[in-house]
Structure 1
Amino acid sequence: MTTVPLHRLAHARAGDKGNRLNLSLIAHDRVHYDHLAAQVTEAKVLARFAHRGATAVRRYDLPNLGAFNFVVEDVLQGGVNGALNLDGHGKSLSFHLLGLEVDALA
């Protein structure tokens, strides 16, 4: 099966609070929702952010909106005020999620 980057099927919004990242993933077309639900799991998102020290991911399904909300724990390296890195928070991390490879739709 062919893969495509997630941004071909969805867009994302993000915010941060302390050391927790909140990522919303919204399907470009609601017909892709079930496909995304099967592909973008808590385990895959946790693996995607493992290099930043993420310890847990919780996914909240929002089928009426064609969207998901992911809460990623311990990924912001102490939070905006405590991290030594430059702009490794919120919005820039939503782009990292959208680079995830998923199976293309048939």
Structure 2
Amino acid sequence: MPNVQLKEIARARSGDKGNTVNIGLIAKDQAWYDTLVHQVTSKRVSEHFDGLVEGEVTRYELPNIHALNFVCTEALGGGGSSSLRLDNLGKCFASNLLRLEVKVEKNKVD
């Protein structure tokens, strides 16, 4: 089974509120939703954001729209008014998550 980055099978969007980041991960096709559910766990997302997310990562499943939603607490150095980060705070987390690799069946990505 080859590894592919999530950007090959999903889209993402993220935002921030205070010191919390919200990331929506949407399968490009209904067939990829099971791959997301089985491989993109709260633990994997937390490990992927090691050093950035200091709190909990909670995953919510939205099967009717083939999506997952991740809420990451203590992720923004205190939030917009407290953070020393110069980026767009939570807006960049979606792009970062799309670099996470998952295993897929070879014939599904060809």
Structure 1 unaligned blocks of 5 or more: none
1:104 aligns with 104
1:82-93 superposed matches below 5 A: 82-87=82-87, 89-93=89-93
For 2:36 and 2:86, the matched residues in 1 are separated by 31
Bigger shift: 80-89 or 26-35? 80-89
2:13 aligns with 13
Deviations 1:58-79 (A, max 9, x none): 1000000000110001111111
TM-score (norm 1): 0.94
Q: Aligned pair count?
A: 106
Structure 2 unaligned blocks of 5 or more: none
Secondary structure, in 3 states, of the residue corresponding to 1:51? Answer: coil
Which AA in structure 2 matches 1:20? T
Q: Is the 8 A contact 1:76 1:88 kept in 2?
A: no
2:54 corresponds to 1:54? yes
Which AA in structure 2 matches 1:79? G
Deviation at 1:53, TM superposition (A): 3.9
TM-score (norm 2): 0.90
Q: Is the 8 A contact 2:61 2:67 kept in 1?
A: yes
For 2:63 and 2:104, the matched residues in 1 are separated by 20
Which AA in structure 2 matches 1:17? K
Please identify runs of 4+ aligned residues in structure 1 that moved more than 2 A: none
Measured on the aligned residues, the alpha-carbon RMSD in Å equals: 1.1
Higher-Rg member (1/2) = 2
